[in-house]
Chains A and B, each alone.
Chain A
Amino acid sequence: MNGRPPRLALLGESLVDESALAILVEAVLGRPFVQVQPGLRARGWPSVLQILPAVARHLHFNTDADALVVLVDADDTEPHGERHEAPGYFHPRCRLCQLRAVFRRATRNLPPARGRERMLRAVGLAVPAAEAWYLCGLDEAVGEAAWIAGREAGRPPYTRRELKARVYGTDRPNLAQAVAGATAAARRHARDPRRLEYDFPGFAALAADLRSWDIINR
């Protein structure tokens, strides 16, 4: 990737995710990237897990993508914790661990193509949904720690609907409202993503993946 801008494909559930993710990825990389095949979509979980191997194979052989960036919502599943990062550890209910494992299996035996050995990947997990990221820094009650504590007490502190209502002013945002709200929040974090990384380990994991490429390639 040295010299030229990285070529990245983004896989999310909607145009809303894709628009905000593009801004956050550029902020973490600290430089612009070229988006390969815009408009890749998965139909929620577990569709994204099922479609990931085919998407990875297509991108590897048919495009010059350097990497695939995937963002999913955790909903009510296990957040990605620090101990999940231990070598060889895999949490079967953590969507981030699952996506990493599926990507690894899907790409491990692919022969080199398009002048590169293999594609890189970065995976983010929004706990419980991307709207929580958009409220980070604005609403002190929103964060992965608060979500986990609430879950353990059997009383989640907020619902997806409540998060949406707080971000967009309605829990039925139309596409234009949702893209506007999500990208405004992403631009706010892009100025300084440290708070988002600190409060949301599911974003920190994505950021660590993105930065690891620079270490390899610069």
Chain B
Amino acid sequence: MIASVAFRNFKALRSARIDLAPFNLVIGPNGSGKTSLIQAVLRLRTLSRLPAADAPAETEPETAEIVFRFNPPHDGLEATLTCRDEDRCDLLQLAPLPAGEGADDWPGLRARLLTSRSYLLDARAIARPVYPVTSDELATDGGNLAARLAGLHARSPESFAGLREEMIRLFPEYADLVLDPARGTFALRLSGGGDPVLVPADEVSQGTLYVLALLALAHDPAPPAIVCLEELDRGIHPRLLRGVRDVLYRLSYPADYGHVRAPVQVIATTHSPHLLDLFRDHPEEIVIADKHGRAATFARLSDRPDLEALLAEGGTLGDLWYSGILGGVPEES
């Protein structure tokens, strides 16, 4: 989907560029540009709704700009967002590149970009009953999950069955996911013999609700082209993070798990060294956001030539990050 994003004079990102993979886990201190990256993707989506500006605008040298390039079949197009100030990036320009395909297919690219979604999940919103149901799209905070699950069950029973099966595997304490569309809610049935015990959504633990919302995304037969997830590890037990990674890989690499659909580009942020530990074999999926004084930059962990040598000295990836030698840690006064 998005191949790279380059920032100029955008908030702390004075001059920063990052290539994006199908799956991207962004680590770094607060204020290092992790959220700016996600905001840039959302801004691109918003401006895609409007007609693109053709004429190059007069730009001041200090004007903030965000330049996007794309993967095939749209690698022949470049999209530039120009900002009047930090909060008003309201000009989208498209330009053909000398090489690559799809330079004349802005409508096709635009249709994909318009499906991009960003989530900062909130357990209370996820558990809230949705009634009456007006839409079944998962809300930014995960609200509407009950409607989303009911919609999936009605439209794609096999996808719902896959979701249910993966949920039970991740949380063996539950034996079933029970929908209650009449009340706009759902419940989980506890495993074990005796009378069935239903745990209503608002009594299910936060971490379980977050994972359930992620599963609803991962088992969507027509998911967004890009999914951004802030604070991915929030409320989730460190031992469950492997399951969370599995769920997101299902989005980004569908063919590896037997799904026939386009891959979803995932951009997730985390502060968890335990989650980072799981990417030892895939450093190309880790983006380190760093801040030196007031300037922020991005780097790929796989671009670090001595990474294997550092890991060979001992220490998990999370330990190395925490120590500060990989960058992406807060500055201390």
Residues of A within 8 A of B (CB): 14, 41, 43-47, 75-77, 160-161, 164, 169-172, 174-177
Contact = CB atoms under 8 A, between A and B. Distances in A.
27 contacts: A43-B318, A44-B277, A44-B280, A45-B316, A47-B316, A75-B311, A75-B312, A76-B312, A160-B281, A161-B281, A161-B282, A164-B281, A169-B256, A170-B253, A170-B256, A170-B257, A171-B281, A171-B282, A172-B253, A172-B256, A172-B282, A174-B249, A174-B250, A174-B257, A175-B169, A175-B243, A175-B246
B144 to A, nearest CB: 26
Contacts of A75: 311-312
B259 interface: no
Interface string B234-250: 00000100110010011
Interface string B205-247: 0000000000000000000000000000000000100110010
Contacts, number: 44
B314 interface: yes
Interface in B281-333: 281-282, 308, 311-312, 314-316, 318-319
Given A170-B256, A175-B169, A176-B169, A41 B312 contact: no
Contacts of B280: 44
User: Is chain A's binding surface mostly helix, strand, loop or mixed?
Assistant: loop
Contacts of A164: 281
Given A76-B308, A172-B253, A172-B256, A46 B281 contact: no
Given A75-B312, A176-B169, 4 more contacts: A43-B277, A170-B256, A171-B281, A175-B243
Interface string B254-294: 00110000000000000000100100111000000000000
Contacts of A47: 316, 319
Contact of B249 (A161, A169, A172): A172
B166 to A, nearest CB: 8
Given A174-B246, A176-B169, A43 B308 contact: no
A102 B242 CA distance: 28
A55 B319 CA distance: 20
Nearest to A49: B314
A43 B316 contact: yes
B313 to A, nearest CB: 10
A164 B281 CA distance: 10
Nearest to B313: A46
Of B281, B308, B319, most A-chain CB atoms within 10 Å = B281
Contacts of B256: 169-170, 172
A176 B242 CA distance: 11
A45 B253 contact: no
A46 B253 contact: no
Nearest to A41: B239
Given A44-B316, A174-B257, A14 B311 contact: no
Contacts of A177: 257
Of A46, A75, A172, most B-chain CB atoms within 10 Å = A172
B309 to A, nearest CB: 9
Nearest to B318: A43
What 6 pairs between A and B have smallest CB-CB spacing?
A174-B246, A170-B256, A46-B314, A44-B316, A172-B249, A161-B281
Nearest to B311: A75
Nearest to A176: B169
A144 B116 CA distance: 47
A164 B278 CA distance: 14
A77 B239 contact: no
B173 to A, nearest CB: 14
Contacts of A76: 308, 312
Given A164-B281, A172-B256, A174-B250, A45 B314 contact: yes
